[in-house]
A and B are shown apart, each in its own frame.
Chain A
């Protein structure tokens, strides 16, 4: 059974196995295919057109399916590995063990933003940035630049309190839980974390930074937490919505999975704490 754990609770051996599996996916070329897919959707999803991965109700089930596929790839390298999650309301500074050299490495240096320690530093030559939007081929970060702050637990709780999953016009202008969690409106949770990390995480090719998966595993957990708080609140919209993935519509790029298929995470994994 797959159990997704808080990254702060991982043992040294679990961290090492997770990192080694990431490096092997990178070496084999499988990793970059995930970066490419994500960027294609982030550029293609628009508020007034077809939208699947972002700025739409299917943001949550799309990323749940995307993470499941990535986790399966990790398991094909090392069957003991699962995706950890980063609770950024708790581990909210660059001094968190998340950013230590034995795990993801730290922030970038001032001159060019280059990450210089940890397994993904350029010096190790194991993490070339090949799917990129500019000429730089090294991992960059700027953790908490400009005094930016990660969301607080109280801010998360204010979003989890919203009863309605999503609302028309089903995009970045929507009210409701999904858009407040995604961050286009309100206190801004998910989007703000991308910006706080900086570097590639702030761009369309954000999965270039391995923290992408830990961030989205926590966003995914917040969806499960929200469902537990609002068992009577369904995924919306239900049917017949132009440009939007309704409950029983299939999602690109897989075309064999619907939001309805993704509502219950427990057939696939559980969390180390009750959702």
Chain B
């Protein structure tokens, strides 16, 4: 099986609240991710179509395999949206996994539109 274990997946979910706390402290100038810091996209925190979307450097630095955004995390109403950065710098999420967009903020907005009000849920693996 994949290296994503159930325990790790649940850990991602449990860590979402913590990620929010860190994101709240991350100012626009925060480029703290250890990898590719020079090209990390800016943090954001806004209400889009009635839902709070936040993005910024994730804390912890690769303690699990849930993050593949180069240390960047995105949340919708405080719940983690799994995101991934492509080699060309574009982004995808678990909700838009076959259609890259330019920035994590675009990804979060696209997720809000696609969700049509539904909450993100922790992935139920296995």
Chain A positions within 8 Å of B, measured between CB atoms, are 36-37, 39-44, 46-50, 55, 112-113, 130-136, 169, 171-173, 183-184, 190-192, 194-195, 202-206, 252-253
Contacts and interface: CB of A to CB of B under 8 A. Distances in A.
13 contacts: A36-B124, A36-B125, A39-B123, A40-B1, A43-B123, A44-B2, A55-B86, A133-B94, A134-B121, A169-B87, A184-B100, A190-B98, A203-B96
Contacts of B125: 36, 39-40
Given A43-B66, A112-B116, 5 more contacts: A46-B68, A55-B86, A135-B119, A135-B120, A205-B94
A42 B97 contact: yes
B68 A49 contact: yes
9 nearest CB pairs, A to B: A40-B2, A173-B87, A194-B98, A191-B98, A47-B87, A204-B94, A135-B118, A134-B118, A46-B68
Given A40-B4, A134-B121, A203-B97, A172 B116 contact: no
B2 A252 contact: yes
Name the interface size band of chain B.
20 to 34
Interface in B48-98: 65-66, 68, 82, 84-88, 94-98
Nearest to B79: A134
B2 A171 contact: no
Interface of B: 1-4, 65-66, 68, 82, 84-88, 94-100, 114-116, 118-121, 123-126
Contact of A131 (B66, B115, B124): B124
Contacts of B68: 43, 46, 49
Contacts of B114: 202
Name which of B97, B115, B121 has the most chain A CB atoms within 10 A of its CB: B97
Contact of A134 (B4, B96, B115, B126): B115
A217 B97 CA distance: 20
B118 A47 contact: no
A136 B96 CA distance: 16
Contact of B3 (A47, A50, A112, A134): A50
A130 B1 contact: no
A44 B125 CA distance: 13
A135 B2 contact: no
Nearest to B89: A173
A113 B116 contact: yes
Contacts of A39: 94, 123, 125
A61 to B, nearest CB: 17
A47 to B, nearest CB: 4
Contacts of A49: 68
Contacts of A136: 118
Contacts of B82: 43, 133, 204
B99 A191 contact: yes
User: Most B CB atoms within 10 A — which of A135, A169, A252?
Assistant: A135
Nearest to A41: B2
B1 A48 contact: no
Contacts of B66: 43
Contacts of B98: 183, 190-192, 194-195, 202, 206
A202 B96 contact: yes
Contacts of A44: 2-4, 65
A171 B100 CA distance: 14
Nearest to A198: B114
A36 B124 CA distance: 8
